[in-house]
Every structure is written in structure tokens, then in C-alpha cells.
Structure 1
Amino acid sequence: MTDAPTIPAFPRIEATITPTTDGRATGVLVVNGVPMPFEEAAEDSIRSSILSSVRGTAEQMNRAVRLTTHDRYGTQTLAVNPNGVTEPLTDLDQSDAVPAAPVETVPVSPDVVATPVVDASAPTPTAAGPAAPADTEAEAPATRRAARQSFLTREEIEEPATQGVRGMLARIGIRVSPSEAERQERSWVRSVSQHWPGPRTIVVVNGKGGVGKTMTTIELSSVFARYGGAGVLAWDNNQTRGTLGWSTEQGAHDSSILDLLPQVDRLLGTGAQSADLAHYVHHQTRDRYDVLRSKPEVLATEQRFDAGTVDSIHAVASKFYRLVFIDSGNDETDSMWVRALERADQIVVPTIGEAKAAESAALLLEGLHDRGGHFAQLADKAVVVVSKHKHDLPDAELNKMASGFEGLARQVVTIPYDPALGADVLNYGALRPVTQRAWLAAGAAVAGGL
């Protein structure tokens, strides 16, 4: 295998764009010390003219050339290819050469991703050498339709970058592809944006209190509702001081599960409409999901529920919502807790960066696996969310704790420390970008199991 080709620093090409007034600018392109001035014109026109000239140089040399630009956005280094593709070079070292873009036989726009057509009749090479010629008669298509290539092709036009330096270049008219990090984030968005056939139920569980169950329920509900649209319910299935309602917006009423229960039969009837639920759930105006509250002010003895209650509420929830997130209590022997798991399509096990909380999460997963059947399946495809609950908790310690769940769950996601996660009312939009990205990753992990 030969080394990847490089773009030599020669010729040395630099461009300076100086804004004047009213969106206009002047420009100078310097190639190997020889200046080429551009008269005042619209700034975008100057930029386009410079790129056109550099592209001509790349065509003459039949390879990509390096361009350094100086403008009101700072200094940028770009690779300009003969086919017009322009890519930012943001990780240059101090050497005289930088990696070149691979040369393709047929120039293809980087914004078009096409699935290659594979000829099934072609011989398959092996490690021992090329395969023997196939029997022509045996390989011949049976019909004319099988012999011809379909006129219908699938192409996906990739949107230009929107983040970082690449995003800045795209906004000023230099169309560049997104970075791998941005592509990954777009993949997460696609995962949480999809709609599954039939409702899905996700239960958030950990037998220990104070480990982030309510926070996880809220943030995951926010992610799926913000990106996937309406039809997401967060349900407080805790009859012992469940606080989901305290951490979310309250609607124009104070209804709870106690008010919904007497209406179950009517809501399951043919005449019921989704708007009828507005009397009993609390819509989150910023994050676009609904909350079904418990009544934490009332003792459990006054709102004693059982497995039948879970069945009734779940029947209503799955009729009107496509995704139901259930915030559970701490009693793993409670009939409501057990029935919620029986109704679950997937579980999410949150914990904080504390040994006792993590041990409780691990014991829960091991216990579910030992029970076998549906419970073991839930444990095998569970998602564990490890949150950094203190700003001074070392990241290495958090990552070490997360690695301890390998083999116990399908996927583990870590959440960085964010003061906004400790607010009285949680709002996804108030989180730092890095925290939002972490919750988006957690949502994509959950979507992977649905």
C-alpha cells in the first residue's frame, strides 16, 4: 500500500479580501509573490472570482492546490480541487505538504451521495487471486427487465456544513461538506425523528432515589418531541411523592392521574378525541411533549394504585401517543413498577457518578436478566445514562464508571455536568450545547432499541 498523496505548498497562493462599504470589498490574489488585484465589487463576487482563478490553477496542475485566505472572518486554509470542490484544512501541521483529496476517475459532486451499482454477475476476487470466469449461460439474466438497469436511482443531496469553521465557510458562500462530528449529530437527529409503526413505551428505572430518573425522563421526552414532533407523553408512575410535575411546566389546570382515572372508559371510547386529554395532561410549550402528573401532595394511602391502574392509563396513553416515557418509583416490588416493565418496549437505567447509585443500577440489570423472558430482554437492550452530578467529578472517574456497565446493557451514554440540569423546572433549550448533544446521543441510543 502506498502513502496517501499530498498537496505540496507550492504554488504559494494567498488571497486577501478587504471589506469597504455596503457589502462591497476589494481583493488581492497573490500567486508565488505575484499579486493580482480585483477591483471593488460585491464581496461575494470578489470571493467567487478568487476561487475561480485558483480553480483554474488547480486545473492546469491537475491536482488540488492550497489557498490561504485573509478576510473579516480571519485566516483560513483551503484545499481547492480541479473539479471545484473546496475543503477547509483546519488541522494543518507546520510541514510543507498537506493531505490531498483522493483523485476520482469520474468527478462527482461531494454533496451527492449515491449508492454504487454492483454487478452481481461479476466474478468475486478472493485472497488467492481473481476468481475463475463464470459460466456465461448460467449467469445470463432470465428476463429483459433483469438485464437492464433501472432508470430510477436514489441520490441523497448532502446539506452543506452548518457548524464550526466549515459552517462559517458555507455561510459566506463556500460550499463545504460537514465534518464527521456534524454528520454523526445529523445521524442522531434522524434516529430520534423517525416514527415507528405502533406506540412504544420506554420505562426509566433505578431502585435508588436521587439518581436522575425524573431528569432523564424529561430530557429524553424533550429530545424525541423536539425532533420527532408531537405525540410524546411523560407519565409519572410513582404514587410515593413523584416529582415529575414539580420539574415541568404546569398547564392551565392542576389535574393529575387521579383526575384521569375516572375518565378512562370515556377516553377509550370511539367518540374520544386527542384534544380531550388537554384537560388532564400538562403541555410543555417549549419542549412540545405532555406530562401526566401524579399527586405528590397526597399520601400513597390516598392514591393507592395497582397493576390494573397501569393497564388503564397505558391503554389511554398508547391510544393517543406514539411514545410514552414512564418515570418510575423506587420500590422494585411495587405492582405498578412491575406492570410498567411488563408493558415496556425498552428500559433506560439512569445513574449519577456515585458508587451507590451505579451499584443499584447494576443490581437492577442483573436481577432483570436473572428473571428471564421479557425482563431479560429488557436488560439486554437497556440503555444506561451516567450523569456527572458534580462539577468537580473527574471525567476519568465518570468514564470508568460508565465502562463498568459494559456487558450489562446494550449501550452506555455519559452526560456532562450542567447547572441547568439542577433548575426547578427543566428546559432542554436552557442546556449548554455540549449537554444538548449528549442527550441527543442518549436519545439516539434509545431509538436504536425501538
Structure 2
Amino acid sequence: MTDTQTIPAFPRMEATITPTTDGRATGVLVVNGVPMPFEEGSEDDIRRTILTSVRGTAEQMHRAVRLTTHDRYGTQTLSVSPSGVTEPLTDLDQTDAIAAAPAADIPAAPAATDAALAPVSAVASPVEQAAAPVAAPSADEPPATRRAARQSFLTREEVEEPATQGIRGTLSRIGIRMSPSEAERRERGWSRMVSQHWPGPRTIAILNGKGGVGKTMTTIALSSVFARYGGAGVLAWDNNQTRGTLGWSTEQGPHDASILDLLPQVDRLLGTGAQSADLAHYVHHQTRDRYDVLRSKPEVLATQQRFDATTVDSIHAVASKFYRLVFIDSGNDETDPMWVRALERANQIVVPTIGEAKAAESAALLLEGLAERGGHFADLADKAVVVVSKHKHDLPDAELTRMASGFQGLARDVVTIPYDKGLGADVINYGGLRADTQRAWLAAGAAVAGGL
């Protein structure tokens, strides 16, 4: 046992770090009930300042002290010595420490704060499935071949990377190698899920028959996640002939081309001489988020760009030739031939909604209707991902959770997204979102990847 396992619980020291935006945060260190706030700065700087302050207390007391931290990665309990050596305390360590302390010094368990909670999400299942161990063959079954009977000389041992996030990440960067927290391991699992490349192209349709529920926002966020983590070959396609606004919410390339300009070139692009770079004439590359956008032309009336199912077939043939992932942003008319054909072409659907009863009911009716149609449509409903976004800053988290729980049994996964004013910007930039919002969209991406 180390001497940190017998450190008394007094003084009571708790640090809370609350993210703001762009990697910045505020912090407060509470010592025996007295708060010491820190001005807004980078998360790493605030963690270092807190550790320096706690080390000063340890030097004054001539012994190691215990620090409990709460941040967006969870709760950690550490021992900080006068020499600056910082070690995590295990559950056993904490039990021993409390047992060694006078009864009056035992602190009450800290209440969870909003800042310490990760985004509510129901996407653990795909990650758990990816990490599930493979059942070993029964010992009673003899090996089928000599090769199966011997142990291979080749092993695949993988060393886990040290922590990069939270207080553990700060310690790793100053030379104290720390293993990642469970929250960081879960996030790494999501990253691996969305970084995969599947054999053959995949099409994901973003659908809800009601407007204003976040279809375009969801298309942008998911395209960003898969392109940032998995690399190029991601297309966001505005499949809407009635004022589709995907182009208005994304960067414009050095031209103003739309689907109207691409359609006459379909045969040429499907020919053997066409190259992927030829598409740069018709799509708009997102320089920060690394995916391409195929715009509709919302400035003209629907009568001037009346498309049908064959239009979708033509565009989809080009898209699936040059892109590995195609995200289709749909309109609101569930009877539109373009809407129906996009559904028929989809490998998976994502149904976005907001924390509003009418929007949630529309999403539920869509899923129920698809299930009743059977066949391919029922399969899409069974493995659908529902994304419930907090569209107002004052919407109670409990209400968002209640709405999300209402989709259990209707879809494979349900993910909630916290409020972020960056999602309402004129041009949505994934890098401009808060860290907890990015993590929530990464979780949503992992849920989608679980169905591909």
C-alpha cells in the first residue's frame, strides 16, 4: 500500500471545472466549504492552477491531501503530496482514507452538478457491442486441425494510450502517465466507430415530416463527424425541391452550382473517363469540416426545379460512385417522389426532433408508419437513430430526457443533444460548437455507425 491510502479526509477539497466554449472553462476550488473561483481560461490552465493551489495546502500541512474533481469527464479523487506527486485514489484507497479520518471529518458525497454530467445519450450499445468479447470454444471440443491446436507465435498486444482528457490528461502531459477514465475510453470507442470505412457506399437519409426539427442541422453535424474522424468521401445532399436551405447553412465554394447544374452532366460523370475531381465544379467543399455539399436552389420556385424519382436515381448513382458516405437532407412532404425514393435508397435513417411535443409526435408517427409498411421500410425503422435536440436554453433537461425515453422501442438508438447557440449560426461549423455538444454528436455518429 502507498502512503496515499491512509491520508485523512480532512481538509475537504473539491474542484469543479465548467466548460464554456472553444476549450475554455471556469473553475472553482472549495476548501472546507470556502469557494475560491478562477477566471475563465483554458481548461488545462485552470487544472494546473488548481493543482498548484492544492499542492500549496499539502506543503503547509506537511502531508498528502485529498482532492475530488468534477469536470465534463466525470468525478476523480486524487492524492496530492507536498512534493507535487499526484496519484489517483481507488475505491479501496478512499475507503481506507475515510476509515482513518475522525468521524466529524468525513465529507458527504458531492451532489452531481450540471457541469459534471455528460450529455444524456443512449448510444452505449454499439460501442459495447464493438468491445464485446468473443466466446471461447468449449474445452470439450478437440481442435479441428494441428494449426488450431497450437498457440500462434504472433500476438496482437495493444498498449493503451495514456489519458488526454480531464485531470488525468493534465497529469499525463506533465510526465505522470495516467490511464484514461471510463468516460474517455467511451469517447475513444465512439471515435473508432465513426472512423471505420465500410465495403461499398452507404446512404443515410435524414427524415421527419415536420419542418423546423433540425434535419439540416443533423445532416451537417453528422457529415462533419464522419468526415473529420473517417476522412474524405462524405457528401451532404440537399434532396429538397421546396426551399432546401442546406446550402445557406454551409460554406459556399468558388461557384454557385447546384443540383440543377449537375443533372445535365450525370451521363458524363457516370462514364469511365470521369474523375472524382470533376465533381468540384458542382459540389461545395467544407474547408474546416472536410465534407462536400450538393446544394438545391432555394432561390427558384419548385415549379422551376420539379424533380421526380428518376432524378434521385441519377444523383444517387453519381454520389455513390464518388463518395463512401452519402447523407440525404430531406424535405417535409412524405408523399414527394424524391422523399420516397431517397428512403428506398437508404441503408439507414436518422429521425431528428426537438424537445417539443408536436415535433416528437411527428417523428414517432413516421417510425410507426414505416414499421407498418414492412419490408425494407420496417428494417429502416428497426435500426433507426432518433436525435432529440435541446432547441431552447431554458428547456429542462428532465423534459428532454422524458421525450427521448418515449422513443424506446420505436428505434434502435436515441441520442440527446444539448443546447448550443452555435447550432443556430448562419453557417454551422462543428469546431465552433462547445466540447460537450461535439461529444454528443460524436455519440450520435457512433450510433449511426452501429447500423452500417
TM, length-normalised to structure 1: 0.74
Distance in 2 (CA, whole Å) between partners of 1:403 and 1:7 is 46
Kept after mapping to 2: 8 A contact 1:78/1:89: no
CA gap of 1:70–1:258, structure 2 versus 1, over 3 A, is farther
Q: Return structure 1 stretches of 4+ with deviation > 3 angstroms.
A: 5-12, 32-35, 75-79, 87-94, 114-123, 139-147
Kept after mapping to 1: 8 A contact 2:5/2:96: no
Question: 1:232-266: per-residue Cα shift (whole Å, max 9, x none)?
Answer: 00000000000000000000000000000000000
| Structure 1 equivalent of residue 190 of structure 2 | 188
Letter in 2 for 1:417: Y
Alpha-carbon shift at residue 76 of structure 1 (Å): 3.9
Distance in 2 (CA, whole Å) between partners of 1:419 and 1:172 is 34
Alpha-carbon shift at residue 142 of structure 1 (Å): 6.4
Kept after mapping to 1: 8 A contact 2:5/2:94: no
Partner SS state of residue 153, structure 1? coil
Indicate yes or no: 2:287 matched with 1:275.
no
| Structure 2 equivalent of residue 387 of structure 1 | 389
| Structure 2 equivalent of residue 15 of structure 1 | none
| Structure 2 equivalent of residue 69 of structure 1 | 81
Question: 1:75-99: per-residue Cα shift (whole Å, max 9, x none)?
Answer: 84445xxxxxxx899978960469x
Letter in 2 for 1:160: P
Question: 1:120-162: per-residue Cα shift (whole Å, max 9, x none)?
Answer: 5746xxxxxxxxxxxxxxx665654343211111111110000
| Structure 2 equivalent of residue 259 of structure 1 | 261
Distance in 2 (CA, whole Å) between partners of 1:219 and 1:116 is 31
Distance in 1 (CA, whole Å) between partners of 2:330 and 2:248 is 15
Distance in 1 (CA, whole Å) between partners of 2:252 and 2:392 is 28
Distance in 2 (CA, whole Å) between partners of 1:395 and 1:116 is 35
| Structure 1 equivalent of residue 228 of structure 2 | 226
CA gap of 1:121–1:226, structure 2 versus 1, over 3 A, is closer
Aligned partner of 1:285 among 284, 287, 304: 287
Partner SS state of residue 285, structure 1? coil
Alpha-carbon shift at residue 115 of structure 1 (Å): 12
Partner SS state of residue 261, structure 1? helix
Letter in 1 for 2:412: R
Partner SS state of residue 272, structure 1? coil
Distance in 2 (CA, whole Å) between partners of 1:117 and 1:369 is 32
CA gap of 1:117–1:196, structure 2 versus 1, over 3 A, is closer
Q: Which runs of 5+ in 1 are unaligned?
A: 13-26, 36-65, 80-86, 99-113, 124-138
Distance in 1 (CA, whole Å) between partners of 2:294 and 2:245 is 11
Distance in 1 (CA, whole Å) between partners of 2:360 and 2:268 is 43
Distance in 1 (CA, whole Å) between partners of 2:421 and 2:390 is 11
Kept after mapping to 2: 8 A contact 1:204/1:326: yes
Distance in 2 (CA, whole Å) between partners of 1:90 and 1:437 is 31
CA gap of 1:11–1:216, structure 2 versus 1, over 3 A, is closer
- Counterparts of 1:23-62 in structure 2, within 5 Å, are none
Aligned partner of 1:95 among 77, 83, 98: 98
| Structure 2 equivalent of residue 357 of structure 1 | 359
CA gap of 1:212–1:90, structure 2 versus 1, over 3 A, is farther
CA gap of 1:7–1:339, structure 2 versus 1, over 3 A, is farther
| Structure 1 equivalent of residue 432 of structure 2 | 430
- Counterparts of 1:40-189 in structure 2, within 5 Å, are 68-70=80-82, 76-78=86-88, 95-96=98-99, 122=139, 144-189=146-191
Letter in 2 for 1:262: P
Question: 1:102-123: per-residue Cα shift (whole Å, max 9, x none)?
Answer: xxxxxxxxxxxx9999985746
Partner SS state of residue 156, structure 1? coil
Alpha-carbon shift at residue 68 of structure 1 (Å): 3.3
Question: 1:266-322: per-residue Cα shift (whole Å, max 9, x none)?
Answer: 000000000000000000000000000000001000000000000000000000000
- Counterparts of 1:394-405 in structure 2, within 5 Å, are 394-405=396-407
Aligned partner of 2:441 among 418, 439, 442: 439
Partner SS state of residue 98, structure 2? coil
Indicate yes or no: 2:357 matched with 1:345.
no
Distance in 2 (CA, whole Å) between partners of 1:34 and 1:415 is 44
CA gap of 1:92–1:413, structure 2 versus 1, over 3 A, is farther
Kept after mapping to 2: 8 A contact 1:8/1:96: no
Higher relative contact order (CA 8 A, sep 6+): 2
Alpha-carbon shift at residue 9 of structure 1 (Å): 3.7
Partner SS state of residue 157, structure 1? coil
Kept after mapping to 2: 8 A contact 1:388/1:398: yes
Alpha-carbon shift at residue 69 of structure 1 (Å): 2.2
Indicate yes or no: 2:310 matched with 1:308.
yes
Kept after mapping to 2: 8 A contact 1:332/1:338: yes
Letter in 2 for 1:312: S
| Structure 2 equivalent of residue 416 of structure 1 | 418
Distance in 1 (CA, whole Å) between partners of 2:175 and 2:252 is 45
Letter in 2 for 1:211: V
Q: Which runs of 5+ in 2 are unaligned?
A: 9-55, 65-77, 102-130
Kept after mapping to 2: 8 A contact 1:287/1:427: yes
Kept after mapping to 1: 8 A contact 2:259/2:294: yes
Letter in 1 for 2:227: A
| Structure 2 equivalent of residue 211 of structure 1 | 213
TM, length-normalised to structure 2: 0.74
| Structure 1 equivalent of residue 53 of structure 2 | none
CA gap of 1:176–1:322, structure 2 versus 1, over 3 A, is same
